[in-house]
Amino acid sequence: MKETFRAFLLLIIIAIGFTACDEKKNEIVAGDEYTVNLLMDRTEKDFQLKNDPRSPFNMDPEVVFENLKYFPPDSNYIFKSKLYRFETLDTIIIMGTRGEQRKAVKEGYVLLSFKGKDHNLNVYKSFGPQDQPYFSIWFTDESSGKDTYHIGRYLDFTLEEDEDYIYTIDFNRAYNPYCAYSELFTCPIPTKEDHLSFAIMAGEKNFN
């Protein structure tokens, strides 16, 4: 069913002839595999949020569904880095948007080079309802509270066993947590340490 839905989306995207471009001429080529997959994922997410009974738009009668808003795909915000592991894996407290405390493990950091300056972003390990581990990057940047959600945005991270593995950190896939849509949901607040001193004009924008 999911494969059929994605195939249908692919036909729509190709038929529309979507052009991903911006003023800086750093766009990802329209119609290439990357752009098509990104747009399919965004369209599929809209479909899921609209129809999933567990989504904020179906659990909170106060919010009305609208398609999510995004910046155009931009290659300026795709970075490559290994994961620089911390010698000591510290468990720290991350605050949630309702004031609750959450535990997370600082696994390491990735190194982003932007306009000649290096920036670090931590990678965190958290635990789901059945204590299953998952890895995330939580961040704010100079667009936070303006074009993007003021609390911050997230990137999913898949940990590889190879210590020298080079990761792709793609901010075109940065997304808002559920608390951006409804106050019924709570989410981790990125720390001051995870603020980027430049604007990430990529990924998901403010919902409202």
Q: How far apart are CA 39 and CA 134, in angstroms?
A: 25
How many structural domains comprise the chain?
A: 1
pLDDT band, very low/low/confident/very high, at 208 (cuts 50, 70, 90): confident
Please state, for a pLDDT cut of 90, what percent of the chain lies above it: 80
Q: Which of these, 72, 65, 40, lies nearest to 147 by C-alpha position?
A: 72
Q: How far apart are CA 87 and CA 106, in angstroms?
A: 10
- 208 in any annotated domain: no
Q: What is the mean pLDDT of the chain?
A: 88
- 201 in any annotated domain: no
- 148 in any annotated domain: yes
Q: What is the mean pLDDT of residues 82-97?
A: 94
pLDDT digits (tens, 9 = 90+) for 159-176: 999 999 999 999 999 999
- 202 in any annotated domain: no
- Determine how many CB atoms are found less than 10 A away from the CB of residue 161: 5
Alpha-carbon dihedral angle through residues 111, 114, 119, 123, given to the nearest 10 degrees: -50
Q: What is the mean pLDDT of residues 27-55?
A: 88
Q: How far apart are CA 147 and CA 47, in angstroms?
A: 23
The rounded Cα 49 to chain-centroid distance in angstroms is 16
pLDDT band, very low/low/confident/very high, at 130 (cuts 50, 70, 90): confident
- 173 in any annotated domain: yes
pLDDT computed for residue 12 by the predictor: 47
Residues 6+ apart with CB under 8 A from 175: 153, 154, 155, 203, 204
For the entire predicted model, the pTM comes to: 0.86
Q: What is the mean pLDDT of residues 109-120?
A: 96
Q: Where are the alpha helices (H) located in the chain, listed in sequence order?
A: 2-16, 33-51, 56-59
Backbone angles phi, psi at 8, to 5 degrees: -65, -45
pLDDT at residue 179 is higher than 60: yes
Residue 31: which domain range? Answer: 2-194
- 199 in any annotated domain: no
- 21 in any annotated domain: yes
- 14 in any annotated domain: yes
Backbone angles phi, psi at 130, to 5 degrees: -100, 25
Quote the Cα angle for 68-135-108, to 5°: 120
Tokens of 153: 């945005």
pLDDT computed for residue 187 by the predictor: 96
pLDDT digits (tens, 9 = 90+) for 47-79: 999 999 999 999 999 999 999 999 999 999 999
pLDDT at residue 21 is higher than 50: no
pLDDT digits (tens, 9 = 90+) for 1-11: 555 445 445 54
Single-letter amino acid, residue 208: N
